[in-house]
Structure 1
């Protein structure tokens, strides 16, 4: 694949520098966007942990503002910024790496299989990096007197619960983020292909930067919306475990209820995730384009020529 005509590349595709740009782009895009929506995340977590008190978006905001003041909406900001920055760097950078690796090795497999396997492989490592930050973030957001942030929250959490406590939510994180990531990346890739083939009817390399970023945003929003519904049950379980509302996954499922697993906090998660994923892809691809690289979407030319289309 070539970059936009006339661009000077800082790095070559699939070189170590290329994966470095992708990792940096993922860190910046994920960290800044998650930081921006910290108030919504604070409300979401409290709605999951205390659904009777915080039973809707409007009443939840009012209750937090009345009882804890405006500063409560930014609790856990450091966990959001650094945690999801690290996760985003691993997720995007490793996805690009695994997509190239698997597309070269699994030449007889469908594109969808490559997208699923690449995103799942990347997400496994990304969530391992996120888990300590997520543990502190959830505790800080739902227990106002627990700690101010990562600096004082991490030693307190580690001294009380150790690594076992910190990684208590890893399996539910995988349960939430693996399906989300697989659906999100695959939906994004197929949406990009659909838009170029049937809406624009031109190759990506023939489009301007603005057109490429427009396609990225449309595909990104579709990917975020679809992925949110898939991952909502595990998101509720994560919040329950880290706030000691349940001792294990089965107990959390029983206490929350099967229907509530899918519906609790879903509207606010859709409000959060759709725009966040769109902005992440926009920022990520902006960094790639500024580096003279093509925007995201598609496999290596060899894999495009040999893979099954679905």
Structure 2
């Protein structure tokens, strides 16, 4: 069996990409469900989802098994550049901050924030296409392909902040806050506890801290995620843009639907990004340690 702490350079890079693709394929149904909850406004509507189980049941009945995989191509296409940008820029921001003699806790948090903001710029066009596809309730075979959807957005709305880059401010908030908490919590908590000499127990220690990091980051950043889904998804009235900027959308959702509406889709988000975030950090950690030792 191949253990993360025994991988060579080529294996760790291949493993990182492989785990990313596996995570998307396994967890994408939760992302579809999360988006459906976040764009849902009226609970009294008979077609609305009453809970997690009800959402899974209704999607399966009306859209089939493939309905859970709507919009899966954009995240697959964005996976490699997304991960490369996330971890590469995190290290670069750390290097830039080191000469400033800031507390380590602050360095990790600021570097995480910077990496998240950079990552958001790269992934936002993919997110716009993904959300449009996920919001479509037609049967999988009846909805447009990823390429057709992207072309339609570009043709009708353009490439700017009202088109393929719609919701950029909310995506910046979502990824910036997530990575700030994600990296900041993980490295500060990990460094506060002694390293375990047993490799398997050390792996478990890091996994638990990574799981907590992904979960906490998901809880804190979800209002930005809800705003992003509202801005990038279908508007309540065709032809009328209700959700425009990030903060205005958050305020509108809060005023019209209450505080808890800003946490729609939290459970499927945690179910996906808690364990997924832990695995991603572990692959990064062991890969980076090997490179530092051997290069």
Alpha-carbon distance in 2 for matches of 1:42, 1:185: 26
Instruction: Provide closer, same or farther for how the CA distance between residues 141 and 172 of structure 1 changes in structure 2, counting only shifts above 3 A.
Output: same
Alpha-carbon distance in 2 for matches of 1:231, 1:85: 23
Q: CA deviation at 1:209?
A: 4.6
**Cα pair 2:135 2:234 within 8 Å, conserved:** no
Counterpart of 2:159?
163
Counterpart of 1:224?
214
Alpha-carbon distance in 2 for matches of 1:136, 1:238: 12
Bigger relative contact order, structure 1 or 2, given CA contacts below 8 A and separation 6+? 1
Alpha-carbon distance in 2 for matches of 1:171, 1:38: 24
Q: CA deviation at 1:37?
A: 0.6
- TM-superposition CA deviations, 1:188-215 (whole Å, max 9, x none): 0012112326xx3xxxxxx465344323
- TM-superposition CA deviations, 1:202-234 (whole Å, max 9, x none): xxxxx4653443232122111111111110101
Counterpart of 2:176?
178
Instruction: Provide closer, same or farther for how the CA distance between residues 90 and 209 of structure 1 changes in structure 2, counting only shifts above 3 A.
Output: farther
Residue 120 of structure 2 is aligned to residue 124 of structure 1: no
Alpha-carbon distance in 1 for matches of 2:277, 2:116: 15
Task: Mark the runs of 5 or more structure 1 residues left unpaired by the alignment.
Answer: 12-20, 201-206, 295-310
Q: TM-score, normalised by structure 1?
A: 0.77
Counterpart of 1:50?
40
What SS does the corresponding residue of 1:89 show, helix, strand or coil? Answer: helix
Instruction: Provide closer, same or farther for how the CA distance between residues 190 and 251 of structure 1 changes in structure 2, counting only shifts above 3 A.
Output: closer
Alpha-carbon distance in 2 for matches of 1:130, 1:94: 14
Counterpart of 1:190?
188
**Cα pair 2:117 2:173 within 8 Å, conserved:** no
Alpha-carbon distance in 2 for matches of 1:281, 1:267: 21
Q: TM-score, normalised by structure 2?
A: 0.80
Which stretch shifts more, 94-103 or 184-193? 94-103
Map residues 274-293 of structure 1 onto 2, 5 A cutoff. Answer: 274-288=274-288, 291=290, 293=292
What SS does the corresponding residue of 1:166 show, helix, strand or coil? Answer: coil
Q: Aligned pair count?
A: 268
Map residues 134-283 of structure 1 onto 2, 5 A cutoff. Answer: 134-143=127-136, 144=138, 145-149=142-146, 151-164=147-160, 165-196=163-194, 200=196, 207=197, 209-245=199-235, 246-249=242-245, 252-257=249-254, 258-283=258-283
Counterpart of 2:239?
none
Instruction: Provide closer, same or farther for how the CA distance between residues 252 and 288 of structure 1 changes in structure 2, counting only shifts above 3 A.
Output: same
Alpha-carbon distance in 1 for matches of 2:135, 2:184: 33
Give the aligned CA root-mean-square deviation in angstroms. Answer: 2.8
Which stretch shifts more, 127-136 or 213-222? 213-222
Q: CA deviation at 1:280?
A: 1.4
Which stretch shifts more, 222-231 or 33-42? 33-42
Alpha-carbon distance in 1 for matches of 2:28, 2:283: 18
**Cα pair 1:47 1:55 within 8 Å, conserved:** no
Counterpart of 1:101?
96
Alpha-carbon distance in 2 for matches of 1:171, 1:186: 22
- TM-superposition CA deviations, 1:232-251 (whole Å, max 9, x none): 10100111011133331355
Which stretch shifts more, 255-264 or 87-96? 255-264
Alpha-carbon distance in 2 for matches of 1:57, 1:10: 41
Instruction: Provide closer, same or farther for how the CA distance between residues 172 and 292 of structure 1 changes in structure 2, counting only shifts above 3 A.
Output: closer
Counterpart of 1:41?
31
Which stretch shifts more, 39-48 or 247-256? 247-256
Alpha-carbon distance in 2 for matches of 1:213, 1:174: 31
